[in-house]
């Protein structure tokens, strides 16, 4: 998983392990894991952006584009109450969906 500003809050190893149980090539597994991580990333960004004003969105995206994790966190903690909990909640929600999809795939085989 690429090191994102929220990486210390989100665990994706279970998804990786579940994908490893599927009868897939290494490339297919890597591709599916990347898609899962992209979905998690976009879900988290959506949760954050929906909480920010237009000006605060610009500031957040600027810090994000510079990969300045300290400034991202400083900004988010100033602007969004309980931001870490909101990120965890958004990630858990999408991870549950992903686990459900993988389980469904396993049952089809």
Q: Is residue 6 part of a domain?
A: no
**Chain-centre distance of CA 101, in angstroms?**
16
CA 40 to CA 93: how far, in whole Å? 9
CA 60 to CA 100: how far, in whole Å? 32
pLDDT of residue 109: 64
Q: Is residue 94 part of a domain?
A: yes
Q: Is residue 1 part of a domain?
A: no
Q: Quick one: pLDDT band at residue 1, thresholds 50, 70, 90?
A: low
pLDDT of residue 3: 87
Dump pLDDT digits (tens) for 46-103: 999 999 999 999 999 999 999 999 999 999 999 999 999 999 999 999 999 999 999 9
Number of domains within the chain: 1
Global pTM value: 0.90
CA 6 to CA 107: how far, in whole Å? 32
**Residue range(s) defining the domain that contains residue 28:** 13-108
pLDDT of residue 70: 96
Q: Is residue 2 part of a domain?
A: no
pLDDT of residue 41: 96
Dump pLDDT digits (tens) for 28-39: 999 999 999 999
Q: Is residue 27 part of a domain?
A: yes
Q: Is residue 3 part of a domain?
A: no
pLDDT at 19 over 80: yes
| Stated length of the chain | 109
Q: Is residue 26 part of a domain?
A: yes
Q: Is residue 17 part of a domain?
A: yes
pLDDT of residue 15: 92
């Amino acid at each position: 998983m690429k090191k994102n500003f929220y990486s210390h809050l989100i665990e994706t190893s279970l998804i990786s392990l579940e994908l490893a149980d599927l009868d897939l090539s290494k490339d297919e597994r890597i591709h599916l894991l990347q898609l899962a991580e992209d979905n998690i990333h976009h879900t988290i960004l959506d949760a954050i952006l929906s909480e920010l004003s237009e000006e605060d969105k610009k500031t957040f995206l600027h810090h994000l584009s510079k990969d300045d994790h300290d400034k991202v966190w400083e900004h988010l903690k100033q602007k969004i109450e309980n931001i870490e909990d909101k990120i965890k909640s958004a990630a858990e929600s999408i991870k549950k969906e992903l686990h459900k999809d993988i389980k469904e795939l396993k049952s089809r085989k």
